[in-house]
Amino acid sequence: MREAAGPHSPGTGPAERNTAETSRGEQSTAPVRRNRDADWNAWPVADYLAENYRELHPIDIGVIRHHSAVYRSHAPGSLARTLELGAGPNLYPLMLAGAAARRIDALEPSAAGVRYLRRQLAQGPDDSWGPFYALCRSLDPALPESCAEALRPVRVVRGTADDLVPGSYDLASMNFVAESVTEDLGEFTALCETFVHAVRPGGRLLAAFMEGMPSYRIGAGPVWPALPVDESALRAVFAPRTTGLRIARLAKDRTLPEYGDSGILLLTAERPPASPSQKSQKSQRSQRSQRPLGSLGSQG
């Protein structure tokens, strides 16, 4: 499980499932759980980091290599504003953006996640992030010498996907979020659609998903909702909404705890360019006042 506590997106109508399975092998009869049914403010940051990020795992190397190639395709400072949707306490997606992006919004709904991120920015990243940053910088020499400097463009914003203004970003990144915060396919789809529309027309999309992961535990804590997805599910959601869709797969990492997944799916795509009518609508919207995302409460 490589999940970051995720944002809320609108649910669909009631749905039931006959058997709920957790990644620890438990079964129960229960209704489908949606994002609103979990207490994300109680996300177990310390246990999550201990299980997933206190050392560099093979799967981390694969994700970092994949994502780094996307950021390296952009000149340093060429991305005015990027988004990390449902950032959680995972710092390496933020590190990777540190050369290409002039501003990085880490949108995080969980109070626990926000506290951790803000502490990392204020006091410097934990030593355990050193090997992660060393790999990031070896792949992208344009990154600053220190991890702390790479994180300087980050603004931690407490909020949800519902707070996003469409078209605000040049690039949006989402790692282990949409499939890890709901059991409902409609809600998963809505969150992915919000993710796509967060970037301007022609903007880049970069994401990672746990493949086939059911609802799961972190440590001995409660069961968190998740939706098992595969490549066909991602294509069904993203193909009608994006261009240049590419999906790669990483094999399951046996050095991690057992979360019931079968690997990781890595996605890149672009939001389609705007049509003339969409450009006209955008011009009209720009004439209306909109609350900037940063006003929700940021620190950098």
Task: Divide the 300 residues of the chain into consecutive groups of 10 and give the mean pLDDT of each group.
Answer: 48 35 50 94 95 97 98 98 97 98 97 97 97 98 98 97 96 98 97 98 98 95 96 98 98 96 98 75 51 45
How high is the pLDDT of residue 298? 41
Task: For residue 138, give the 3-state DSSP assignment.
Answer: helix
Complete DSSP assignment for 145-168:
SSHHHHTTTEEEEE--GGGPPTT-
Picking from 21, 173, 168, the residue whose alpha carbon sits closest to that of residue 95 is 173
CA distances from 5 to 47, 174, 210 (A): 13, 11, 14
Give CB contacts under 8 A, 24+ apart, made by 14-19: 15/184, 15/186, 17/183
Closest CA to 6 of 94, 107, 104, 82: 107
CA distance 139 to 57: 17
Other C-beta atoms lying within 10 Å of the C-beta of residue 12: 14
| Per-residue model confidence (pLDDT) at position 30 | 74
Q: How far is CA 134 from CA 8, 9, 73, 147, 221, in A?
A: 33, 35, 19, 9, 32
Sequence-distant (≥ 6) Cβ neighbours of residue 42 within 8 angstroms: 112
Q: How many residues does the chain have?
A: 300
Cα(160)–Cα(293) distance, integer angstroms: 10
Predicted pLDDT of residue 275? 75
Spatial separation of the C-alpha atoms in residues 33 and 6, rounded to whole Å: 14
pLDDT of residue 61: 98
Written as six digits, the tokens of 296 are: 């929700």
| Number of Cβ atoms within 10 Å of the Cβ of 78 | 13
Q: What is the pLDDT of residue 66?
A: 98
Closest Cα to residue 109, out of 38, 171, 187?
A: 38
Tell me how far apart the alpha carbons of residues 251 and 61 are, in angstroms, rounded to a whole number: 12
Burial of 83 (0-12, 13-18, 19+ CB in 10 A): buried
